[in-house]
Amino acid sequence: MEQHESNRAARIRLLTQTAPDTLMGKLLRTFWHPVSTSKNLAPGTARAIRILSEDLTLYRGESGAPFLIGARCAHRCTELHTGWVQDEQIRCMYHGWRYDGSGQCTEMPAETSARTEFVKIAGYPVYEYHGLIFAYMGEGPAPAFDLPRKDALEEPGIDISTREEVWDCNWLQQIENSLDSTHLSFVHQWPTPTRLGAEIGATIPELEYEETAAGIRQTARRPNSVRVSNWTFPNNNNVLAAPPREGDPWINMLGWAVPIDDEQTLRIGIYSYPGGEIGAELRRNGALCTSQAKDHASVIFDEHRLPDVGAADRIMAQDYAAVRGQGVIYDRTNEHLGASDAGVALVRRILFREIEAIRTGTPAKTWTRLESAVNLQTLAPAT
């Protein structure tokens, strides 16, 4: 019995590990991930980032093109983000070694017989899309940038906003939360209903889950709504977010849970909403998250209340209370899943299937963008 429990714990732990030498880390590296908002990287600047348990340098050349390379100079291992961006390259501030956007060293000013062609640090392809900078950190050529795209982001006449924040817990419990529609009937009623809780209500939904070409389609049916999550493998959820006031337009939201490492997650996303004055009014009324949920931890966990922030931030605080309340890395050996956890069970089965393909060297599934847009929500008319 003890051996069985030990094997189960080790197997489940595979899903939470993100380093380059782990099965999940290798699987995650076969996808494009957003690593920064575009607005957080001005031309000619650099910043240190950590993604998938790897320290990196993200910089934007003077032309505006972004680049992602290793964190440290190959010479004496000083952090490169403290150096100078010159044209499309970055120069180390310690001894002036310079690198291009592929991580190739191009200059060693103090070396009289420099052989720069033999010095290279990590370098990864990047792609900028609707205010986010994506990176592909896998081996070999990067796949076409298609799976992360969504029709709702490419419609004419819309406005786009982006945001990023860090949650101090493992990435997996966050994607499991996004595939758990029952939690809306409780979490978003706590301690009193937020805008999402008020719109959806406390009725327990009828649930359907289906694996698609792109990920998982989650359908939650309640008397007042049919709500669909267009969840894209391995870590992106696309839903409609509740507006700050009744009658306002709902907001198309895409959120990624990108592992920083096993104990931290970069939550990064795009909001898509009507342009013009309608969009401006939504922003003024708190439709977009602007604060960091973890900064309100003492209010949430010690005072058992929501922080005094905008409507969207209060909804996010409810999710943080539930997800971070599981701990930094949730001990799944102590859980008791039920029928309402069908989405959680499905995503775990798929993840186990895909990392088994990585382990055995057999082809994993080729995930492709859905051919048509998804109707994310149907609301019953008010009576």
What pLDDT was estimated at residue 3?
Answer: 62
Same domain, 72 and 210: no
Number of domains in the chain: 2
Q: Dihedral sign, CA of 132, 262, 181, 355? A: positive
Given a cut of 50, is residue 282 above it in pLDDT?
Answer: yes
pLDDT > 90 in the chain, percent: 93
Look up residue 92 and give its two tokens. 């180390």
What pLDDT was estimated at residue 383?
Answer: 45
Look up residue 5 and give its two tokens. 């429990």
Q: What share of the chain is helix, strand, coil (3-state, %, to 5)?
A: 30, 30, 40
Same domain, 73 and 171: no
Is 313 in contact with 320 (CB distance < 8 Å)?
A: no
Task: Give CA angle at 274 (269, 275), nearest 5°.
Answer: 100
Same domain, 165 and 45: no
* 199-231 per-position pLDDT tens digit: 999 999 999 999 999 999 999 999 999 999 999
Residue at 146 is within a domain: no
Look up residue 144 and give its two tokens. 């076409």
Residue at 3 is within a domain: no
Same domain, 87 and 181: no
Same domain, 228 and 364: yes
Look up residue 247 and give its two tokens. 């009658």
The residue type found at 178 is S
E strands, the chain, are 32-37, 46-51, 54-60, 66-70, 84-86, 89-91, 98-99, 105-107, 123-124, 126-129, 132-136, 158-167, 206-211, 215-222, 225-232, 236-241, 251-261, 264-274, 377-379
* 11-52 per-position pLDDT tens digit: 999 999 999 999 999 999 999 999 999 999 999 999 999 999
Q: Which residue has the higher pLDDT, 192 or 112?
A: 192
Is 66 in contact with 126 (CB distance < 8 Å)?
A: yes
* 292-335 per-position pLDDT tens digit: 999 999 999 999 999 999 999 999 999 999 999 999 999 999 99
Residue at 26 is within a domain: no
What pLDDT was estimated at residue 2?
Answer: 58
Given a cut of 80, is residue 152 above it in pLDDT?
Answer: yes
> Please, which residues have CB within 8 angstroms of residue 257's CB and are 6 or more apart in sequence?
171, 174, 175, 178, 235, 265, 266, 267
Report the C-alpha gap between 47 and 38 in whole angstroms: 12
Same domain, 178 and 126: no
Phi/psi zone of residue 258: left (φ > 0), alpha (ψ -120 to 50 degrees), beta? beta
Given a cut of 70, is residue 175 above it in pLDDT?
Answer: yes
User: Would you place residue 380 in the very low, low, confident or very high pLDDT band (cuts 50, 70, 90)?
Assistant: confident
pTM above 0.85, yes or no: yes
CATH number, position 355: 3.90.380
